Chains A and B, each alone.
Chain A
Amino acid sequence: MVHNEEIESMKKPALFIGSLMILVLVLSVVKIFISNRVATSGVLLGIIQEQAASLKTENVLLSEKLYTESALTNIDSEAEKQGYVEPKSDFVLSGQMPVAYKQ
């Protein structure tokens, strides 16, 4: 009876080490599989990086155009070309005279 218990207690570490080795094996296979798949994505990454750079450049170029068009210096010169001139004198609407007085 005692002999059987000793044999059972010796089996436990072996089982534990065995399962650990299986886990290491499985994880290694998973790592190899994922690394393989990811490593080939470099081309895609390159394309994405190029696209991002191109969009960034386009954004900067459009901003430059927008700022140039909306600059007061530009608006002023465009207005002058179209015949707008600065008013020489202002007039003010002040206290209105009543149209009719109640008698």
Chain B
Amino acid sequence: MIWRYRIAFLGIVCLFLLVITRLFYWQVVKAQELSLIAQNQYGTTVKLVPQRGEIRTSDNFPIVTNKISYLIFANPKEVKNIGETSAVLSSVLGVDLASVSADLSLDKFWVPIKSAVDSKTKQKLEQMNLPGIGFDSQYQRFYPEASMAAQLLGFVGKDDQGNDKGYFGLEGYYDRLLQGKEGLAMQVNDAFGRPILAQTNQTSGEVDGSSLILSIDRSMQFLAEQKIKNGVETYGATSGMVGIMDPKTGQILVMAAYPNFDPRDYSVYSDDLYKNPFISDLYEPGSTFKPLIMSSALDAKVVTPQTKCNICGGPVTVSGYDIHTWDDKYFPNTNMIDVIQHSDNTGMVFVAQKMGLDKTLSYLEKYGIGSTTGIDLQGEVSAPLRPKNQWYAVDLATTAFGQGISITPIELLDATATIANQGVEMEPHVVSAIEDPSGNIIKVPPKVVGSPVSSGTAKAMTEIMVNAVEKGEASWARLKGYRIAGKTGTASIPIQGHYDPTQTIASFVGFAPAEDPKFVMLVVLNRPTVSIYGAETAAPIFFDIAKSLLGYYGIPPDQNN
């Protein structure tokens, strides 16, 4: 009898073991999967994508904001007539008929048809009541001013994970601040899928992006973009750019380049247009560099405005190279005021030789030449100054008139703004304030970088530059009734170790009004063909924009000037 009990006992133990094994399978092995199925039955987890912050100009106008667009999707299992539905979708959405038809024939519950569809098209489709076709709203970048300041703003593309990511300009530099933080929400539903109030929605972590308030003046930007576009077309240049800055605060008021691109449809443009040439293109500045060298020499007290140049009677030979003036006219015993007025290369060689390499390099570093300015834009570059032991006598001589040295336009604009701001250099900035999602505004204070030259030197240099505008080769274009300080530039372009005599970069840098500057501006034209000279191309654009700006600021002309 005992063996029967034992068999019965063993059978019961085996049954229990089976139950325990099965329980282990469901409770441990399949636990996560079952938990997910249960979650889907009683509620849904939704990924909350934060709204990207806006970018506003100084008048609080959103130059970049968000608009609603729609993702059109289909549930192929619910589509009744594949042929008819495909034809309608193809004609309304402008997508390939064969591609839509193939999508609708798939054995799936969800297939995307087209994204970024506008609300009018969505409404049109909605009214057709097509079975199996659905709409999902999504946010998309919207540019009310179209391509205005495109290179300054950058654009929003996708990263490796398919999420929005800012590239270039402000979108790139402030990407983390603009994009905010993604969150999750849990909505518990009843058996009919209706939300249950008793179970609160559990949201976590979603924070919308902060908005940027720029120092960019929308009206001035619009005006400058029109003028530079006209200038490029009129003078047959390949490209052009203009930057305007408030010298007292370092705030950038305008940064425009032509040609540019449309950030809504950036992928159809060449990659070369994405970068902002004002901060990313290195060029030899030519004569617009002379005020920096001259002010350094004045500050170092190696020359005074009345110092006579004793080598200016003809071409100067340095290390076997003959250095000429731009028009081969020479002024023996000319003074420093006239050196700038005539844009005299030999006079600048005289100044550089008086300064010597150590002082020249020291002042260039103080002006920030050879290093990035720290502007809050993605893509700024700089060409570091060569080590001292790699400088030859001819390098020092050519640097004095802005050849053989590469800088970005923003470096020159910032350094010239220092002269306008009584010798105090400010860090250039595009964002003047940041507004968080709660509406709190954090202002970005102006930042002083240094004082390369004294206020007395800056004042003397300003007067020399005013004289250059009034009596120099660009005097024909000057504005009567205003004291404007400025300097023309006609820089040769180095190509494969030589300078091409037919191609130049024409530019003009200056500020106004000279006594109390409201703006400092740099206009650059790349390879103008109508005339190669800055005085005949960039200068008229500069004065045209300056005229509008002075009117915009309400500064009347003075009859005494």
Bound pair (A, B) = yes
Using Cβ atoms and an 8 Å threshold, which residues of chain B touch A72?
Answer: 145, 148, 218-219, 222
Query: How far does the alpha carbon of A42 sit from the alpha carbon of B481 in the complex, in Å?
Result: 74
Main DSSP-derived SS at the A contact region: helix
Q: Which B-chain residue is minimally distant from A43 (CB atoms)?
A: B194
Asked if A30 is an interface residue, CB under 8 A from chain B, the answer is no
Using Cβ atoms and an 8 Å threshold, which residues of chain B touch A63?
Answer: 65
Tell me whether B68 and A60 are in contact (CB under 8 A): yes
Query: Interface readout for B190-228 with A: 1 if CB under 8 Å, 0 if not?
Result: 100011111000000000000000000011001000000
Shortest A74–chain B CB gap in Å is 8
Contact of B559 among A39, A41, A95 (CB under 8 A): A95
* Cβ < 8 Å to B, chain A residues 56-93: 57, 60-61, 63-64, 67-68, 70-73, 76, 90, 92
Query: How far does the alpha carbon of A43 sit from the alpha carbon of B195 in the complex, in Å?
Result: 7
Asked if B146 is an interface residue, CB under 8 A from chain A, the answer is yes
Using Cβ atoms and an 8 Å threshold, which residues of chain A touch B554?
Answer: none
Asked if A94 is an interface residue, CB under 8 A from chain B, the answer is yes
Contact of A76 among B196, B222, B547, B559 (CB under 8 A): B222
Tell me whether A39 and B197 are in contact (CB under 8 A): yes
Query: Interface readout for A31-64 with B: 1 if CB under 8 Å, 0 if not?
Result: 0000100110111111001000000010011011
Tell me whether A38 and B197 are in contact (CB under 8 A): yes
Asked if B62 is an interface residue, CB under 8 A from chain A, the answer is yes
CB contact under 8 A between A60 and B197, given known A72-B222, A76-B222: no
Contact of A46 among B195, B219, B556 (CB under 8 A): B195
Tell me whether B144 and A67 are in contact (CB under 8 A): yes
Tell me whether A73 and B148 are in contact (CB under 8 A): yes
Count residues on chain B whose CB falls below 8 Å from chain A CBs: 29
- Size range of the chain A interface in the assembly: 20 to 34
Using Cβ atoms and an 8 Å threshold, which residues of chain A touch B218?
Answer: 72
Using Cβ atoms and an 8 Å threshold, which residues of chain B touch A67?
Answer: 61-62, 65, 142, 144
26 residue pairs bridging A and B, Cβ less than 8 Å apart: A35-B198, A39-B196, A42-B189, A42-B194, A42-B195, A44-B197, A46-B195, A49-B195, A60-B66, A61-B68, A64-B67, A64-B142, A68-B144, A70-B144, A71-B144, A71-B145, A71-B146, A72-B145, A72-B148, A72-B219, A73-B145, A73-B146, A73-B148, A76-B222, A92-B557, A94-B556
For the A-B complex with A38-B197, A57-B68, A73-B145 known, give 20 more contacts whose Cβ atoms are closer than 8 Å. Answer: A35-B198, A42-B197, A43-B194, A45-B195, A45-B197, A46-B194, A49-B195, A60-B68, A63-B65, A67-B61, A67-B62, A67-B65, A67-B142, A68-B144, A71-B144, A71-B146, A72-B218, A90-B551, A92-B557, A94-B556
Q: Which residues of A contact B (CB under 8 A)?
A: 35, 38-39, 41-46, 49, 57, 60-61, 63-64, 67-68, 70-73, 76, 90, 92, 94-95
Q: Which residues of B contact A (CB under 8 A)?
A: 61-62, 65-68, 119, 137, 142, 144-146, 148, 189-190, 194-198, 218-219, 222, 481, 547, 551, 556-557, 559
